[in-house]
Amino acid sequence: MDLKLIRKYFSDDYTIGHLYVNGKYFCDTLENEDKLLHEKMPLKVLDRVKTAGKTAIPIGVYQINMNTISPKYKALDKYSDIEFKLPRLEKVPMFEGILIHIGNYSRDTLGCILVGKNTIKGAVMESTLTFNALYKLLRFASDANEDIWISIEYEDWEMNILKK
């Protein structure tokens, strides 16, 4: 299964994007501030630019693991139906524990990707409903032993070229 997150709108506090599943628009996303990082940057540059819990992950391609139990979210009932297993992006340089999860505002992201509907500036609403629908698709693919990948990029192709 292929996911594509295209970052579209930027501020000093958040980044709004569109998430596509196998080429079809699925929902909006909310991440922290984009600081123009990409997965091939030297680690010391990433470390210098990144602010823990306040920076969107580097653009790039990452595999998603569907078997991660997050200690932070294990205490929240809203994840009990899925046995607290959240989609986790693997091998994100200089970032650990990057998940796709429920939340509405940039303060909820902590470097992760939130899903929902961008009906309020700088936020996503209906996050629980959206997450549950996405999770079903991802779980189905994972249970069928299908690899799940996410590509994170910019809407503007010129921005993508500048990042390489």
Mean pLDDT of 131-137: 95
Rounded CA separation 125/114 (Å): 10
Rounded CA-CA distance 4/26 in Å is 10
Tokens of 140: 């189905």
Instruction: Mention every residue, 6+ apart, whose C-beta is less than 8 A from residue 55.
Output: 32, 33, 35, 37, 49, 111
Query: In whole angstroms, what separates CA 101 from the centre of its chain?
Result: 8
Strands 2-10 and 149-154, bridge-based pairing:
parallel
One DSSP character per residue, 118-147 reads EEETTEEESHHHHHHHHHHHHHHHHHTT--
**Residue 131 belongs to what domain range?**
2-163
pLDDT band for position 117 (cuts 50, 70, 90): very high
Lowest-pLDDT range, 47-51, 67-71, 81-85, 98-102?
81-85
Question: Which pLDDT value is given to residue 79?
Answer: 65
> How many CB atoms lie under 10 A from the CB of residue 42?
9
Give the model's pLDDT for residue 161: 47
Taking only the tens place, the pLDDT of each residue in 13-33 is: 999 999 999 999 999 999 999
pLDDT value at position 77?
67
**Domain count within the chain:** 1
* Residue 35: pLDDT over 50: yes
Phi and psi, residue 163, nearest 5°: -80, -15
Q: 115 versus 85: which is more confidently predicted?
A: 115
Identify the bridge partners of residue 116 per DSSP, sorted by sequence position. Answer: 28
- Better pLDDT: 51 or 76: 51
